Chain A
Amino acid sequence: RKEVEQDPGPFNVPEGATVAFNCTYSNSASQSFFWYRQDCRKEPKLLMSVYSSGNEDGRFTAQLNRASQYISLLIRDSKLSDSATYLCVALTLNNYKLSFGAGTTVTVRA
């Protein structure tokens, strides 16, 4: 079983729309969670951390549900530049490893 599972998408949305997707993790020892963003044929970059209480960073909102072991990301007022693959990442502190999901592809169209 994969440690982090994501809906691969693609999610095709018009500019200005709201898009949301989530991922699930299987390792209950995972303690910290993140969303990374990867543009086509580029390197992954940290988008934001995910806190238990939920957190926002501009148009992006991340939520964590430890009981159900899922993490979500919501993008409001989508921009063309939001088109990318979003990677859900879990960190297990006892071995300091990041476990990546395979990514959710979002395409924002004009």
Chain B
Amino acid sequence: QVQLVESGGGLVRPGGSLRLSCAASGFTFSDYYMTWIRQAPGKGLEWLSYIGDSGTTIFFADSVKARFTISRDNAKNSLYLQMNSLRAEDTAVYFCAKERYSGYADGIFDSWGQGTLVTVSS
């Protein structure tokens, strides 16, 4: 079955960087758009970024566009989120998720990971 496992979270100082990973299994990773979504403490879900199946199509939320980078390695079935210039408001659980349909993005996320916690604090 589909499995998504995030890693790389932890405590980082304001202004620092962190790279999150998402290991995928149970489906043909290279066929699907993938996305990152986060949930700050006490808040709702916030979509962050999409990457297309080949990695050439990328969308970002304005809140993180200038600071975060999304990438993927289809040979390793892995998705990444490089986070730079981190702020206290980036403290959240970060989820990776898979699109329901192959080949395009329509915002239907049928599988999610358990999330990895990022804490930005001095």
A binds B: no
Q: A interface vs B, CB < 8 Å?
A: none
